[in-house]
Amino acid sequence: MKTIDELLAEGVAGRRVFVRADLNVPLDGTTITDDGRIRAVAPTIARLAEAGARVVVASHLGRPKGAPDPAFSLAPAATRLGELLGADVAFASDTVGDSARATVAALTDGQVAVLENLRFNAGETSKDDAERGAFADRLAELADIYVGDGFGAVHRKHASVYDLPARLPHAAGALIATEVGVLKKLTEDVERPYAVVLGGAKVSDKLGVIDHLLDKADRILIGGGMMFTFLKAQGHEVGGSLLQEDQIPAVQGYLKRAEELGVEFVLPVDVLVADKFPDLKTKAPANPTAVAADAMPAGQMGLDIGPESAALYASKLADAATVFWNGPMGVFEHPDYAEGTRAVAQALVDSQGFSVVGGGDSAAAVRILGFDENAFGHISTGGGASLEYLEGKTLPGLAALED
């Protein structure tokens, strides 16, 4: 896989460099609520511009249905990128149409342009190779070189991620190189003890990574909505909590296998419950109650790990040499249910080991709860991509960058 350092050594001045970034940031209307992904790719774009490249940045945002939708415009991301670069960034109002061609043609050495949302064109995400290829052909007309740096999308077989690199000389950006290097630390010659913390809503989203890491991790801590499927698998009442009943047999199998392998599975000993889901807009007090994990009332729903569990989890992370965390412990967006997630984040900050926050809601929680990002070993920009890598899957966007 060619690196951006090698590419810059060859010279990019005057050449059109297509950067597949991940500018898929959360928006409240047109206001960006977390610019972490833009900040993560900005150094690659800045280095190319400083070297005299004519930089064409492209990304997806959200899930528009293959047609323009103003709610998913990349215009706010382009504006924020310009602020971070300290330079004007041109914006094309389409992806491969008249505006894109004119905007790219007008670039001079060292200038940057952002194309409109790639997913406004159905060819980007099409499962038909020919349709996807046709869109990649049109994107290729806009550039001389391809740089893949959108780690959050490398697990997708999309035109700009998988097909376009085959049509242009290509290299991996600094962000992707960093992400892959970190993931190798979690899968090859791992420093022990190795602890994995998994949360989030659905246990089905994490079964693959549990399966793959059972042979590698020393302990696995479970929280979030997925913990209730584990508790139910142990025969406990979970009330109105999130539950994937069809996954109970698989969960029971993993618990048995973990015991056979000597992997410690840590489940909550207490849970915060309430009779309804909290209002995340008003953040009105929810008055939760802490109950033992094996004594949840039938009419209540669990919304966070309890204080005893938070202390337990922190103790299980204190001596870890390597920690991977993906998924919040509860409904962290509401202050009454943020403490479990805060406790895990603080434990990683306090740990002397190498800590990796695996993207997605975990990365958002770190920022929303006010933690210094530099206090963690690494905060990934791609939750889904990180999980699939840890499952041992081949990621199309990484395979496409291999020489």
DSSP letter assigned to residue 395: P
Instruction: Looking at 59-128, list the stretches that DSSP marks H as alpha helix, in order from N- to C-terminal side.
Output: 75-85, 98-105
Q: Three-state DSSP class for 376? A: coil
- 190-391 maps to which CATH number? 3.40.50.1260
Share of residues in the chain with pLDDT > 90 (%): 93
384 catalytically annotated: yes
Which tens digit of pLDDT belongs to each residue from 267-300?
Answer: 999 999 999 999 999 999 998 999 999 999 998 9
Which tens digit of pLDDT belongs to each residue from 25-79?
Answer: 999 999 999 899 999 999 999 999 999 999 999 999 999 999 999 999 999 999 9
Q: What is the mean pLDDT of residues 370-379?
A: 94
360 catalytically annotated: yes
Q: Has 206 been labeled as part of a binding site?
A: yes
Write down the catalytic residue from 199, 200, 306, 384. Answer: 384
| Rounded Cα–Cα distance for residues 373 and 86 (Å) | 22
| Rounded Cα–Cα distance for residues 164 and 145 (Å) | 10
The ranges of the chain annotated as CATH 3.40.50.1260 are 4-175, 190-391
Q: Are 355 and 379 in contact (CB under 8 A)?
A: no
Q: Has 359 been labeled as part of a binding site?
A: yes
Q: Has 156 been labeled as part of a binding site?
A: yes
> What are the E-state strand segments in 309-367?
322-326, 354-357
- 4-175 maps to which CATH number? 3.40.50.1260
Q: Has 119 been labeled as part of a binding site?
A: yes
Write down the catalytic residue from 224, 240, 330, 360. Answer: 360
Q: Has 152 been labeled as part of a binding site?
A: no
Output the pTM of the full model: 0.90
Phi, psi of 289 (to 5 degrees): -120, 140
For the cut 90, the answer to whether the pLDDT of residue 383 exceeds it is: no
Residue with tokens 């590698």: 216
Q: Has 333 been labeled as part of a binding site?
A: yes
37 catalytically annotated: yes
Amino acid occupying residue 398: L
Q: Which of 61, 20, 24 is nearest to 165 (CA)?
A: 20
The neighbouring-strand residues paired with 357 are 325, 379
80 catalytically annotated: no
Write down the catalytic residue from 16, 20, 37, 232. Answer: 37
Find the angle CA(222)-CA(223)-CA(229) to the nearest 5 degrees. Answer: 80
Which tens digit of pLDDT belongs to each residue from 293-306?
Answer: 999 999 899 999 99
| Rounded Cα–Cα distance for residues 187 and 169 (Å) | 29
Q: Which of 275, 359, 296 is nearest to 325 (CA)?
A: 359
Confidence of residue 403 (pLDDT cuts 50, 70, 90): confident
| Rounded Cα–Cα distance for residues 387 and 390 (Å) | 5
For the cut 90, the answer to whether the pLDDT of residue 238 exceeds it is: yes
